[in-house]
């Protein structure tokens, strides 16, 4: 399945109504693309919905971003066009600049945390519970951990780490479940072996105590595949 363009997914994550009817239909049936939209939305949500403070990047960080986006490091609003002719400045629409910056930040974080100081969120999170994630029979040797935290604004996040990298054809998805896995809610796709996920509003973390990581084929079906890799119960 061919996924939507990363720039479009970033625009959707920023709250832009940029998708056509066909693209919205694809998004409705594609867990991978929905997970990408949620991933792009997290840096924006951190500034809109929380009391957390974003640290201002230093000059060296901005210089790196400017080089990647072909921006004049002296003026964040200017695009420098390079080519065989002269270098000429031109104004880049603000939305494009923001989308590109978010995409670069996401790519940096995905590459093993290189340059993770680009966007650092400070908060006094309170650890509520932890879980040891144990392997299912088909995934012997796998393991993981999960940590449930409460942020100052009252929202909850779950930090998940596993020992298994997603394959080239499948995605790993993180779920919260009630006892006996009778009810479940998706937290999003796990990119790499670790990630932090915001618990959706209205989900009672005192009832949804099981953390599950599943192997999900890219078949357009948003339901749990039934192929769990690791699972564990959050304990205070």
Q: How high is the pLDDT of residue 31?
A: 82
pLDDT in tens, 86-109: 433 543 454 555 555 555 555 544
Candidate from 60-64, 176-180, 229-233 with smallest mean pLDDT: 60-64
Q: How high is the pLDDT of residue 188?
A: 92
Q: What angle do CA 222, 108, 114 make, to 5 degrees?
A: 125
Q: What is the mean pLDDT of residues 142-161?
A: 93
- Residue of 182, 196, 153, 214 whose CA lies nearest to 42: 196
Q: What angle do CA 202, 13, 133 make, to 5 degrees?
A: 55
Phi/psi at 195 (nearest 5 deg)? -170, 160
Phi/psi at 220 (nearest 5 deg)? 80, 0
Distance between CA atoms of residues 216 and 173, nearest Å: 7
pLDDT in tens, 187-205: 999 988 999 999 998 899 9
Distance between CA atoms of residues 152 and 144, nearest Å: 26
Q: How high is the pLDDT of residue 72?
A: 62
CA 176 to each of CA 26, 58, 210: distance values in angstroms, whole numbers, following the listed order: 25, 38, 6
Q: How high is the pLDDT of residue 86?
A: 40
Domain residue spans of the chain: 6-48, 56-118, 124-233
CB 70, CB 88: distance < 8 Å: no
Q: How high is the pLDDT of residue 167?
A: 80
Distance between CA atoms of residues 90 and 53, nearest Å: 32
Higher pLDDT: 23 or 155? It is 155
Q: How high is the pLDDT of residue 39?
A: 81
Q: How high is the pLDDT of residue 159?
A: 95
């Amino acid at each position: 399945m061919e996924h939507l363009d990363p720039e479009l997914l970033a625009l959707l994550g920023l709250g832009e109504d940029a998708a056509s009817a066909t693209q919205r239909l694809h998004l409705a049936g594609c867990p991978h693309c929905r997970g990408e939209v949620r991933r792009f939305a997290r840096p924006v949500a951190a500034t809109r919905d929380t009391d957390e403070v974003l640290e201002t990047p230093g000059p060296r960080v901005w210089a790196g971003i400017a080089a990647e986006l072909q921006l004049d490091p002296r003026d964040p609003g200017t695009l420098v066009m390079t080519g065989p002719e002269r270098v000429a400045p031109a104004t880049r629409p603000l939305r494009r600049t923001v989308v590109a910056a978010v995409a670069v930040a996401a790519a940096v974080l995905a590459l093993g945390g290189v340059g993770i100081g680009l966007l650092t969120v400070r908060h006094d999170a309170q650890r509520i519970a932890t879980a040891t994630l144990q392997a299912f029979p088909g995934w012997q040797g796998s393991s993981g951990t999960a940590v449930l935290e409460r942020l100052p604004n009252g929202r909850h996040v779950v930090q998940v780490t596993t020992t298994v990298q997603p394959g080239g054809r499948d995605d790993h998805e993180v779920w919260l479940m009630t006892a006996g896995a009778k009810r479940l809610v998706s937290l999003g796709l796990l990119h790499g072996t670790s990630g932090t996920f915001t618990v959706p509003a209205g989900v009672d973390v005192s009832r949804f105590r099981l953390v599950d990581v599943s192997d999900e084929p890219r078949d357009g079906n948003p339901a749990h595949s039934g192929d769990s890799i690791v699972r564990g119960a959050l304990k205070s």
